[in-house]
């Protein structure tokens, strides 16, 4: 083969290689553009994820704060309910206290709702108004000058 033929063959070969190189370069540029696009998307997602985590963290703190507040409210409500129950229990002894006072029998209403009665040298305690009423009704009718009330 002559030098000229070899030169032409090399030139043709180089032209093919140049075309392939151009094609590969175009593909590489497209791939780089896609990678850049994916990087940008990843950064956006990373930022959003971080924002969501921050928001969730804030939500957790707010939820914890609300739970603490709810617990305080429940405790106050329970205190009010307990006070109301005690008040109702003490109020249930009122008619019995009147009868004891009229009979001249010493008594005291102890906290929370326990009636102490001193009668004939004995000290009796009642937590149930019905039992106390039963006791008072069985007493003989007496007229007294009044006794300490409670």
**Distance between CA atoms of residues 32 and 42, nearest Å:** 15
Q: What phi and psi values does residue 146 have, to the nearest 5 degrees?
A: 105, 150
Domain spans in the chain, listed from the N-terminal domain onward: 1-88, 93-138
Q: Cα(6)–Cα(70) distance, rounded to whole angstroms? A: 92
Those residues whose C-beta lies under 8 Å from the C-beta of residue 73, and which sit 6 or more positions away, are: none
pLDDT tens digits in sequence order for the chain, 150 residues long? 788 888 888 888 888 898 899 999 999 999 999 999 999 999 999 988 888 888 887 788 888 899 999 898 888 888 888 899 999 999 999 999 999 999 899 999 999 999 999 998 999 999 999 999 999 988 887 544 444 444
CATH number for the domain whose boundaries are 93-138? 3.30.250.20
Instruction: Give the integer Cα–Cα distance in Å for 93 and 110.
Output: 11
3-state secondary structure at position 96: helix
């Amino acid at each position: 083969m002559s030098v000229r033929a070899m030169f032409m063959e090399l030139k043709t070969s180089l032209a093919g290689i140049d075309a392939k190189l151009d094609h590969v370069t175009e593909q590489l540029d497209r791939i780089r553009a896609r990678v850049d696009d994916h990087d940008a998307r990843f950064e956006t997602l990373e930022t959003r994820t971080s924002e969501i985590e921050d928001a969730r963290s804030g939500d957790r703190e707010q939820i914890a704060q609300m739970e603490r507040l709810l617990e305080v409210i429940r405790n106050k409500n329970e205190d009010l309910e307990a006070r109301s129950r005690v008040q109702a229990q003490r109020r249930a002894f009122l008619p019995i206290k009147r009868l004891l006072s009229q009979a001249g029998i010493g008594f005291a209403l102890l906290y929370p709702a326990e009636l102490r009665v001193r009668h004939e040298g004995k000290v009796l305690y009642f937590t149930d108004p019905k039992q106390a009423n039963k006791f008072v009704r069985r007493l003989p009718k007496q007229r007294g000058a009044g006794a300490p009330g409670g």
